[in-house]
Amino acid sequence: MAVREERDETVGSTRPAWFAWVVRAVAAAGLAVVVWACVTAWGAVVHGHPAYAVLLGLTALGCVLVLWRNRRPRPARARWRRVMDVVLVVGAMVWITAMAWLRPFTAVEPALAAMTSDSAVTVTETATEIRLAPAGEVSGTTVFFQPGAKVEARAYAAVLRPVAEAGHPVVIAKQPLGVAFLALGAFDDARDAVPGAERWVVGGHSLGGVVASSEADAADDDATAPVVGLLLYASYPAGDVSGSLTAAVESVSASRDELSTPEKIDASKADLPPDAGFTVIDGAVHAFFGDYGPQPGDGTPTISHDDARQQISAATVTFVSGVDR
């Protein structure tokens, strides 16, 4: 069977019709990814940092424009322009794959219920952060928290709410695209915006803990409102801070974690100050440090999520209260 061709008499070259169908298929796949992300993670898209929602919108708009322009056979183009067409198609496929990979883990109960204000805690939410403010007497020690990779910020509301109930304000960052390294300025923003903070405990889950370690190391000797504590949830620093970090450290990990494994946590002891505390939640897994459902590659728990959350919250309150001086 002869291959159908689109002939451009001006350029004198031909363009296979199948290429137009490839372009349409890629555009349709892009729209499918946008719809899939919105249907399966709508809460995180709406309540997360706006960067992902904006990129989804741009992706949908671009795919619709491509489908519109390719609704009819297009004339062939010069050779160099055909090469550019191939490059653009490949680039579009990479972009669409990235949009699918960046789909966030959406917060589930009881985190959603913990986002409701009551007589003990006032919850406020903006495009870039969540604040849990004690309604009663407020401590001078405030907690700043970096979520794990691609995890919606609301997922940590239930595990950190007891900290606010104990009198310590909590700020949870909303990271652009769910990547902590893209929220390096969030701690500085929180320090400028939270009145009355005399000391800070900086914490994070997984990748968020890696960034929190750097933030704590950089601000532990500040003259005003220094970082006095580093809280690590299933995490460890990217490098050795054992000789430079003066803040107290508490590492809370899970015995059944297959992502930040017990072996990795044990190895991180050499990179942390010798007086760092280590609490292991027996039977818990990586995803139990937030409420966002199971996580690919994680281990199999042998205790309930509620039990693990209670232990994690208790260890956190004990640590934060201990550095509140």
Residue reference for tokens 């950190």: 160
pLDDT of residue 211: 98
Pairing of strands 227-233, 170-173: unpaired
Average pLDDT over residues 240-250: 97
CA distances from 301 to 112, 118, 206, 285, 288 (A): 22, 32, 17, 6, 9
Going along the chain from its start, the domains and CATH numbers come out as 5-101 (no CATH), 111-322 (3.40.50.1820)
SS3 16: strand
Average pLDDT over residues 160-186: 97
CA distance 82 to 87: 9
pLDDT above 70 as % of the chain: 92
pLDDT for 9 beyond 70: no
SS3 251: strand
CA distance 54 to 168: 34
pLDDT of residue 5: 45
CA distance 201 to 228: 6
Specify whether the CB–CB gap between 32 and 45 falls below 8 A: no
pLDDT of residue 75: 67
Average pLDDT over residues 100-116: 98
Structure tokens at 59: 């992706």
CA distance 77 to 249: 62
Short-list 108, 109, 166, CA closest to 132: 166
CA distance 45 to 90: 26
pLDDT of residue 196: 85
Which residues neighbour 102 within 8 Å (Cβ) at sequence distance 6 or greater? 52, 55, 150, 177, 178
pLDDT of residue 11: 45
Pick 193 or 200 by higher pLDDT.
Answer: 200
Output DSSP code: residue 258.
S
CA 10 to chain centre: 52
Q: What is the pLDDT of residues 30-80, one digit of tens each?
A: 999 999 999 999 999 999 999 999 999 999 999 999 999 887 766 666 676
Short-list 67, 154, 60, CA closest to 116: 154
CA distance 247 to 255: 25
pLDDT of residue 15: 58
pLDDT of residue 195: 82
pLDDT of residue 74: 64
pLDDT for 174 beyond 60: yes
pLDDT for 13 beyond 70: no
Average pLDDT over residues 133-148: 95
Q: What is the pLDDT of residues 310-325, one digit of tens each?
A: 999 999 999 999 997 6
CA distance 155 to 291: 5
pLDDT of residue 78: 66
pLDDT of residue 324: 78
pLDDT above 90 as % of the chain: 85
pLDDT of residue 76: 63
pLDDT for 12 beyond 60: no
> How confident is residue 96, by pLDDT bands cut at 50, 70 and 90?
very high
